[in-house]
Chain A
Amino acid sequence: MTDLDDKLAFPLDDHPAENADENLDEVIGDVNLQYRMRRYQMIGEVMRHELPDAIDTEFHSNVMQRIRAEAESQNTTPSVPDNAQSANSILSWAWLKPFAGLAVAASVAVVTVLLWQPIKQESGLSDDSVVSAEQLKIQQLAGQQIQANAVPVSTKVQPVGMRWKLESETPGLQQKLNSYLVNHTEYSSSMQGLIPQARVAGFDTQQ
Chain B
Amino acid sequence: MGRKLNFLSKRLLPILLPTLISAPVFAGPAMEWVQKMSDAMRNLNYRGDFVYLHENQLESMRISHYRDVHGEKERLISLNGEAREVIRDNQNLTCIWPSSRKVVIDMSRKNNFSPIFIPEDIVRLEKFYEMKLLGKDRVADMSVMVVHIVPRDKFRYGMKFWINEQNGLMMKSSLINEDNKVVEEVMFTSLKVYEGDEKLVIDTMPPIDDSFTMIRFHSGDSSKSFDADRSWKLEQAPGGFWRDSVFKRQIPGSEQFVQQMVFTDGLASLSVFIERQTLDTKGGSSSMGAVNAYIRILNNHSVTAIGEVPAITVRQLAESVSYQAQ
Across the two chains, which residue of chain B brings its CB closest to A198?
B52
Q: Which residues of chain A are within 8 angstroms of B286 by Cβ–Cβ distance?
A: 164-167, 173, 177
- Asked, given contacts A160-B81, A205-B99, whether A165 binds B287 with beta carbons under 8 Å apart, the answer is yes
* Docked CA distance A205–B256 (Å): 26
Q: Which residues of chain B are within 8 angstroms of A191 by Cβ–Cβ distance?
A: 115-118, 159, 267-268
* Docked CA distance A58–B306 (Å): 49
B-side interface mostly: strand
* Docked CA distance A164–B279 (Å): 16
Q: Which residues of chain A are within 8 angstroms of B313 by Cβ–Cβ distance?
A: none
Contact B268 A190 (CB under 8 A): yes
* Docked CA distance A172–B284 (Å): 15
Give residues of chain A (155-204) contacting chain B, Cβ–Cβ below 8 Å.
160-168, 170-173, 176-177, 180-184, 186-203
B180 interfacial by beta-carbon distance below 8 Å: no
Distance of A181 from chain B, by nearest CB (Å): 6
Distance of A108 from chain B, by nearest CB (Å): 14
Contact B304 A180 (CB under 8 A): yes
* Docked CA distance A9–B257 (Å): 58
Across the two chains, which residue of chain A brings its CB closest to B117?
A189
Across the two chains, which residue of chain B brings its CB closest to A166?
B286
B74 interfacial by beta-carbon distance below 8 Å: yes
- Asked, given contacts A134-B101, A193-B184, whether A182 binds B215 with beta carbons under 8 Å apart, the answer is no
Q: Which residues of chain A are within 8 angstroms of B63 by Cβ–Cβ distance?
A: 195
Contact B284 A168 (CB under 8 A): yes
B90 interfacial by beta-carbon distance below 8 Å: no
Across the two chains, which residue of chain A brings its CB closest to B159?
A193
What 20 new A-B contacts, CB under 8 Å, besides A188-B264, A189-B109, A202-B84?
A124-B251, A125-B252, A132-B214, A135-B213, A161-B59, A165-B286, A165-B288, A167-B284, A167-B286, A173-B281, A182-B93, A188-B307, A190-B266, A190-B268, A194-B52, A194-B175, A194-B186, A198-B186, A201-B76, A201-B84
Contact B109 A186 (CB under 8 A): yes
- The residue in A161, A194, A206 that gathers the most chain B C-beta atoms within 10 A of its C-beta is A194
B308 interfacial by beta-carbon distance below 8 Å: yes
* Docked CA distance A123–B86 (Å): 19
Contact A168 B244 (CB under 8 A): no
Contact A201 B86 (CB under 8 A): yes
Contact A203 B284 (CB under 8 A): no
Number of interface residues of B (CB under 8 A): 85
Binding site for A on B (CB under 8 A): 50, 52, 54-55, 57, 59, 61, 63, 74, 76-78, 81-82, 84-86, 88, 93, 95, 97, 99-102, 104, 106, 108-109, 112, 115-118, 157, 159, 173-175, 184-186, 210-215, 244-245, 247, 251-254, 256, 260, 262, 264-271, 273, 278-282, 284-291, 293, 304, 306-308
Contact A187 B84 (CB under 8 A): no
Q: Which residues of chain B are within 8 angstroms of A135 by Cβ–Cβ distance?
A: 213
Contact B97 A205 (CB under 8 A): yes
- Asked, given contacts A177-B306, A182-B95, A184-B307, whether A129 binds B54 with beta carbons under 8 Å apart, the answer is no
Number of interface residues of A (CB under 8 A): 56
* Docked CA distance A134–B95 (Å): 18
- Asked, given contacts A201-B85, A202-B78, whether A134 binds B284 with beta carbons under 8 Å apart, the answer is no
Contact B306 A184 (CB under 8 A): yes
Q: Which residues of chain B are within 8 angstroms of A124 by Cβ–Cβ distance?
A: 251-254, 256, 278
Contact A199 B291 (CB under 8 A): yes
Instruction: List 26 interface pairs A-B (beta carbons < 8 Å), by A numbering.
Output: A115-B100, A122-B215, A124-B252, A125-B253, A132-B212, A135-B213, A161-B78, A162-B289, A165-B288, A168-B282, A168-B284, A170-B280, A182-B93, A182-B95, A183-B106, A184-B270, A189-B112, A190-B268, A190-B269, A191-B116, A193-B157, A195-B52, A198-B50, A198-B76, A202-B52, A205-B97
Contact B285 A197 (CB under 8 A): no
Distance of A185 from chain B, by nearest CB (Å): 9
A82 interfacial by beta-carbon distance below 8 Å: no
B213 CB contact (under 8 Å) in A130, A184, A189: A130
A126 interfacial by beta-carbon distance below 8 Å: yes
Contact B86 A162 (CB under 8 A): no
A119 interfacial by beta-carbon distance below 8 Å: yes
9 cross-chain pairs, A with B, having the tightest CB-CB distances, nearest first: A188-B269, A129-B253, A190-B269, A160-B81, A167-B284, A134-B211, A126-B253, A193-B175, A184-B271
Distance of B73 from chain A, by nearest CB (Å): 13
